[in-house]
Amino acid sequence: MADILFLMVSLVIGLGVGAAAGFFYHRNVTEKTLKSADERATDIVEKAENQAKEIAVQAKEEALKLRNEAESEITRKRREVEKVEERVQNRQENLDKRVDVLEKKERILNKRQGQIDRKANQIDKLNEQRLAELERIAAMTRDEAKVELLNMVESDSRQDMARIVRQVEADIKQDADRKAREIIVMAMQRVASDQVSETVVSAVPLPSDDMKGRIIGRQGRNIRAFENATGVDVIVDDTPEAIILSGFDPVRREVARLAMSRLITDGRIHPARIEKLVSKAREEVDQSIREAGEQAIYDAGVRRLHPEIIKLLGRLQYRTSYGQNQREHAVEASRLAVIIANEVGADIEICREGALLHDIGKSVDHEVEGPHAIIGADIAKRYGVSAMVVNCIASHHHEVEQECLEAVIVEVADAISGARPGARRESLENYVKRIKALEEVAHSFKGVEEAFAIQAGREVRIIVRPEEVDDYEAIKMSKDIARQVEENLQYPGQIKVTVIRETRAVDYAK
């Protein structure tokens, strides 16, 4: 029992000692922990305070920098505003000064205007007084004095007028050639039509002279085949790089030209190929003839013609007379006939159709004997053309009697188209007649001593007697002669009329 009690006391004591030891140990640990925590807290606080101080210093520096920049900007803006205000103030002052100057000038001008008005009134009064005094001295009114003055000047103005006219003509003489060219070009533009030479040959170019042997062929078989197929003669001579196609029928010659050009381009020249290409060329020419005929009736405004007549019209494309293309001549004559018919009240359609078909016989006159007018009338009658149109065709060269006004109009239109400037080559006989007519017109005026037509009839020079014709009359005579030439003569282009008045004083030293 005692042992147990001792053991228990020992145990209690041991527990007490252990508890005390644990308490003190825990206390020591706790104190160390708290001390360490205080130290860390103190460090953190110190670091935070240091960072806060640094941030505050940076913030103060940044704020100071921004403040300085803002103050600099404000100062700059203020200076600019001050400069603008200064400029505005200067301008305002300048404007005020200008307004003052303008007001002063306005007052001066108003004052001067008043003085001018007063002087104008005084001048008007003085003029009235002067006129009244002049009328009193001259014993006539202003109108009477004006008439008297004009009568006095009129007699002296003739020589002055002639001198002025001569001066004006001398001034424009430098531009005379240019003006003449412009007039000629304008006339050509209005009335000129395509001109072709009336020939019976066509030249076909060759790439080389070696091609001539191939065209002739072995023993001449190729050239014989070509002539038989086309009906034209092929002339192979010394002309370099060319051959000549000769024939009176222009349509056949055109067919031969096309076929020969195709053969030269193709290079295969033999009788079978020749016949094929000639046939094809004939088809193309026939198509071209139909198109030319249709274009002719379209240009002339004629309708309802037989296809064969249209084809004959197209053949006129390859026919010329005195250098004038006959298809174009027919269309031109038709248009002229319509203009004349409108003026005189004739049947327009008969004139239109008759003038278009008046030379239709020329398309076959190398195949049919007789005048082309009669041939054309027979063709037109055969294809149902009206009797009046047939008479227009047959009578336009007076082979038959003209039965209607329209026939006369067709004849006139044909003559105008053939005789206009540049349409045909002029014969020597007509040229000589025109030269004589020019000289006769000049000699018909009083005071003319000599008259000469020069420069192929483009100028006539008249020498007058100076004792009968003065300078003014010479100028007037040139204009009168030019006017009479225009009214009485037919001529291409223009004719210059020059009147020469010359006074010679001759004496002899003995």
CATH number of 301-425: 1.10.3210.10
Is 344:326 a contact under the CB 8 Å cutoff?
no
Per-residue pLDDT of the chain (510 residues; tens, 9 = 90+): 566 766 676 777 777 777 676 666 666 667 777 777 778 878 888 888 888 888 888 888 888 888 888 888 899 888 999 889 888 998 888 888 888 888 888 889 888 888 898 888 888 888 888 877 777 776 667 677 677 667 666 656 656 666 676 667 666 665 665 665 565 455 445 444 433 334 567 778 888 878 888 888 888 888 888 888 888 888 887 777 788 888 777 888 888 888 888 888 888 888 888 888 889 988 988 888 888 888 888 888 887 788 888 888 888 888 877 667 888 888 888 888 889 888 888 888 999 998 888 888 888 866 777 888 889 889 888 988 889 999 999 988 888 888 888 989 988 888 887 765 554 544 455 667 778 888 888 889 988 988 888 766 778 899 998 888 888 888 889 999 988 888 888 776 678 899 998 877 777 787
Mind listing the pLDDT tens digit for each residue in 312-336? 888 888 887 766 788 888 888 888 8
The pLDDT of residue 129 is 83
Please enumerate in sequence order all residues whose Cβ is within 8 A of that of 163, keeping only pairs 6 or more positions apart, or say none: 471
Q: Where are the domains of the chain?
A: 29-141, 196-288, 301-425, 428-501
The pLDDT of residue 191 is 44
Q: Can you point out the beta strands (E) in 218-311?
A: 233-235, 242-246
Is 195:201 a contact under the CB 8 Å cutoff?
no
Q: Can you point out the beta strands (E) in 421-491?
A: 448-454, 459-464
The pLDDT of residue 426 is 47
Question: Two tokens at 441?
Answer: 């017109």
Query: In 252-267, which positions are buried (b, 16+ CB within 10 angstroms) versus exposed (e)?
Result: bbbbbbbbbebbbeee
Mind listing the pLDDT tens digit for each residue in 227-261? 888 888 888 877 777 888 887 778 888 888 888 88
The Cα 77–Cα 70 span in angstroms is 10
CATH fold, domain 196-288, is Ribosomal Protein S8; Chain: A, domain 1 (3.30.1370)
The Cα 34–Cα 37 span in angstroms is 5
Residue 476: helix, strand or coil by DSSP?
Answer: helix
The pLDDT of residue 322 is 63
Phi and psi dihedrals of 452, rounded to 5?
A: -130, 130
Residue 206: helix, strand or coil by DSSP?
Answer: coil
The pLDDT of residue 198 is 40
Question: Two tokens at 98?
Answer: 């200008």
Question: Two tokens at 301?
Answer: 């405004």
The class that CATH gives domain 428-501 is alpha beta
Phi and psi dihedrals of 358, rounded to 5?
A: -65, -30
The pLDDT of residue 196 is 35
